[in-house]
Chain A
Amino acid sequence: MKSTASPKFKARGVNLYYGSFQALRYISLDIPRNAITALIGPSGCGKSSFLRTFNRMNDLIAGARTEGRIELDGSCIYDEGVDVVNLRKRVGMVFQKPNPFPMSVFENVAFGPRRHGKNNHSEMEAIVEKSIREAALWDEVSDKLEQSALALSGGQQQRLCIARVLAVEPEVILMDEPCSALDPIATLKIEELMRKLSRDYTIVIVTHNMQQAARASDMAAFIMMEEDKAGSLVEYGPTSEIFTKPRDKRTEDYITGRFG
């Protein structure tokens, strides 16, 4: 861990329900700022659901209910009167499947800033170039800005989605298995990019890939389903410790590939 400063996110006793089904049980952990935190665990354990509590994307699911506290820089994002639109500006998200809008490369990146009231053309050009450069994509698309984003390769599309998030100037980037639809080379590029971005941004990533978690994260949280299928936190700590000397037997079984 790079800093001992106050955590970026502080989750306390988070329960998540979809209707009467409990998806997460009493999860508490701190997400350090300017670091990469990986959420790992078997399929269906609720790690993606947990990720979505940080930008309140679960609000979009009918019947979803979140209990407990999640603080972003000390104030709870589930308090009444919290502006969810503003929260999502601060906490960006990259999805599992690269999903650029059916628009030009330029318009994809300009989408966020435009919605937040930026209209000046030269300013927009600067934002778009800066964001695409930051996403390590500029050399590949600088001459294709007016082309449809859907014509790019999968890996390029995913970096475009990252650029699109960066253009909004978030503080946190949530990544939901961002490499699961990509080939190994594209995956490596995204990992390098994450490492670079973690200097300026707080990154939380859900991954299925143990090597990826071991390679690319600073902190790792192991989440597992209990008997009743509710996900709960088994173990949380620096990645090096989780992967070399896990304290919990279940963590050890999982990371050594004995199940999951």
Chain B
Amino acid sequence: MSARSSQKIAMTLIWGGGFVTVLILVGIIGYVMIQGLPLLSWEFLSTPPRGGLSGGGGISTAIVTTIYLMAITIAVLVLPGVGAAVYLTEYARDNWLTRVIQYGVETLAGVPSIVFGLFGFAVFVTALHFRFSILSGALTLVCLLLPTMIRTSEEAIRAVPMSHRASALALGATKWQTIRHVVLPAAVPGIVTGIILCVGRAIEETACLYVTLGGSAAMPSSLLSGGRTLSLHLFYLAMETRAFDKAMATGVVLIVSIIVINTTTNVLARRYQARMSGRRA
């Protein structure tokens, strides 16, 4: 085969692959949008679901529960996640123990979320008597997301040039001052990206919340209230009611919020990086 025709074939395959990918993406989002958009209204967003077989009402309580759950999850997640990453990158020596920890973190990141759900059910819901609640759901999500949080923070911290650490230490800064005032600020964009990744995964998470958050359609009043997130609500609508169109409308809300979150973080991270490196945003 001539170089020319093999190049042609390669280009066709590459373009074809790209085309199929875009087609699938546009197809899914387009389908959900077409089915769901007509139902979207302020009323849909602001009324609580009525429950029952009809699937009537809106999604107001699911929105509130989602935000509530995300806030608690992130609040609990960040400190231990970043802390463990700092320990693993800056303090831990490279020995069998840290290698076991690293391996454990990697393994945990690949465990299916329903397994975390069962753990959360056994520990938080049952043993600790938190019942089906925001608290149980958030703590389970923390367990699920901790490996991701640690891994992304580790990468962000490792990406900070060694020369920054060396100059800080050479100026008579202590190791902790160096981490606190040089390493962590420089790692912030990467850590924030990790947090967003976790928020994204938490928003889409259904299985492990099914067994820890319950499914109450009521407005949560405290940490110990049960509830349903948007994805959980979508699941209930699709599986247990006749309101498939409302499930699609909920899907639209989910997709749009993910897009908004990702775009905002990208813009923020880029602006932060630009400020740090002296370029104008």
Q: Are B278 and A150 in contact (CB under 8 A)?
A: yes
* Min CB gap B278→A, angstroms: 3
**In the complex, chain B residues 144-171 whose Cβ is within 8 Å of any chain A Cβ:** 161, 163-164, 166-171
Residues of B within 8 A of A250 (CB): none
Q: Which secondary structure dominates where chain B touches chain A?
A: helix
Do the beta carbons of A88 and B276 come within 8 Å of each other? no
Binary contact track A138-152/B, C-beta < 8 Å → 1, others 0: 000000000111111
B167 touches A161 (CB 8 A): yes
Given contacts A95-B166, A101-B182, A102-B186, contact A111 B171 (CB under 8 A): yes
A147 contact set on B, CB distance < 8 A: 278
Given the known interface contacts A99-B163, A101-B182, A115-B181, the answer about A88 and B170 at a Cβ–Cβ threshold of 8 Å is yes
User: Contact between B172 and A85 (Cβ–Cβ < 8 Å)?
Assistant: yes
Contact indicator B173/A97 (Cβ below 8 Å): no
Chain A contacts for B163, CB-based, 8 A: 95, 97, 99
Which residues on B sit within 8 Å (CB–CB) of A93? 167, 170
Whether B278 lies near A88 (C-beta < 8 A) is: no
> Could you say which residues of chain B place their CB within 8 Å of the CB of A57?
166, 169-170
| Contact pick for B174, options A85, A99, A112, A149, CB 8 Å | A85
Interface size on B, residues (CB 8 A): 22
CB distance from A165 to the nearest CB of B (A): 7
Q: Is the CB of B275 within 8 A of A165?
A: no
Cβ of B177 within 8 Å of any chain A Cβ, yes or no, is: yes
B277 touches A148 (CB 8 A): yes
Known: A57-B166, A95-B166, A161-B167. A102 touches B277 (CB 8 A): yes
Where the two chains meet, the residues of A that have a C-beta atom closer than 8 Å to any C-beta of B are 55, 57, 60, 85-86, 88-89, 92-93, 95, 97, 99, 101-103, 111-112, 114-116, 147-152, 161, 164-165, 168
**Could you show 29 A-B contacts with beta carbons less than 8 Å apart?**
A55-B170, A57-B169, A57-B170, A60-B166, A86-B172, A88-B169, A89-B171, A95-B163, A95-B166, A95-B167, A99-B161, A99-B163, A101-B167, A101-B168, A102-B164, A103-B185, A103-B276, A111-B171, A111-B181, A112-B171, A112-B172, A114-B181, A115-B168, A115-B172, A115-B174, A148-B275, A161-B167, A168-B171, A168-B172
